Amino acid sequence: MSRLELSEEQRSELEACFRTTEDRRLRERCQAVLMTARGRPQQQIAEDLSTTTRSVQRFLARYRTDGLEGLKIQWAPGKTPLIPEELAPTLLDWIRQGPRACGLKRANWTHVALADFLHQQTGIRVRETAMGDFCRRHGVRLYRPTYRFLRADPARQQQGRQELSEKTPGRARRACPSEPGRGALSHGADADGHPERQRTAPPSSAPATARTWCTRLPRPTSPLAK
């Protein structure tokens, strides 16, 4: 059995960490050190914590070497972000100001447009996914580009209205030429004043191959069908 002597300050520190930490593994490591200081065998400590004796021995060795900091889990730093954090304030300013303030003829930012502008300004080339990760880390949500008529230039709006009115001055009613062999269309009005289209009879000088108008008779029913 490994003996471990704790001072009152060390014991208070371990107990406070045991009560306040949200990390389950750190809490179990503090508990293992406290139980060892009370004279509990390592085999029983391993059984109570659902771990191995070797793990308990490692916890004690780390505590003897580095104290409470040795019990904390040291996470790997992971991959270095493609966009340095030093550029975060600059990127956030670009997003808040908008593309027009940065000299771009755009209404809204997109991840692709922001990545291209970053490459133009700093020479750092990143993909759309990397820019999306950066925006999510900083709580930024870019909107999809949409054209807003109110955001356009008022002078160009008026010019567009004038050009559109000149191209479509009014819908004049045009007479449709009759097709050869078919009756012409004559326009009239019904009792309610709505335009009514009537088909006149084909001219008598229609060629022999022209269509003729006839009434379709009902098809006779076969006696076998009954």
**Position 208 in a domain:** no
**56 plus 31 within the same structural domain:** yes
Residue with tokens 């493609």: 82
**81 plus 143 within the same structural domain:** yes
Report residue 69 as tokens: 């900091």
**Position 201 in a domain:** no
Distance CA 29, CA 49 (A): 9
For 127, phi and psi rounded to 5 degrees?
A: -90, 175
The predicted-structure confidence for 158-213, as pLDDT tens digits, reads as follows: 888 888 888 876 544 444 444 444 444 444 445 455 555 544 555 555 455 445 45
Residue type, 168: T
**87 plus 108 within the same structural domain:** yes
Q: Which of 58, 85, 91, 83 is nearest to 73 (CA)?
A: 58
Q: Any idea what the Cα angle at residue 225 is, between residues 220 and 226, rounded to 5°?
A: 105
Domain boundary (107, 127, 154) is at 154
**95 plus 30 within the same structural domain:** no
Q: Which of 214, 180, 186 is nearest to 199 (CA)?
A: 186
Q: Bridge-partner residues for 198, per DSSP?
A: 186
Domain that holds residue 80: 76-154
**Position 116 in a domain:** yes
**85 plus 66 within the same structural domain:** no
pLDDT reported for residue 184: 44
Distance CA 120, CA 46 (A): 58
pLDDT reported for residue 85: 87
Long-range contacts from 122-129, C-beta under 8 angstroms, 24+ separation: 122/87, 124/82, 124/83, 124/84, 124/87, 126/82, 126/83
In the chain, alpha helices (H): 8-20, 24-37, 42-48, 53-66, 68-71, 88-97, 111-122, 128-137, 154-167
179 within 8 A of 203, measured Cβ to Cβ: no
**105 plus 150 within the same structural domain:** yes
**96 plus 63 within the same structural domain:** no
Confidence of residue 224 (pLDDT cuts 50, 70, 90): low
40 within 8 A of 47, measured Cβ to Cβ: no
Question: What is the three-class DSSP state of 199?
Answer: strand
pLDDT reported for residue 34: 93
**82 plus 51 within the same structural domain:** no
**Position 113 in a domain:** yes
The predicted-structure confidence for 107-153, as pLDDT tens digits, reads as follows: 889 999 999 999 999 999 999 999 999 999 888 888 655 555 555 67
**Position 205 in a domain:** no
**54 plus 104 within the same structural domain:** no
Residue with tokens 């999306």: 132
**61 plus 87 within the same structural domain:** no
Question: What is the three-class DSSP state of 181?
Answer: coil
**Position 30 in a domain:** yes
**33 plus 97 within the same structural domain:** no
**81 plus 149 within the same structural domain:** yes
210 within 8 A of 180, measured Cβ to Cβ: yes
Residue with tokens 């972000």: 81
How many independent structural domains does the chain possess? Answer: 2
Q: What is the DSSP letter of 225?
A: G
Q: Exposure of 82 by Cβ count < 10 A (0-12 exposed, 13-18 middle, 19+ buried)?
A: middle
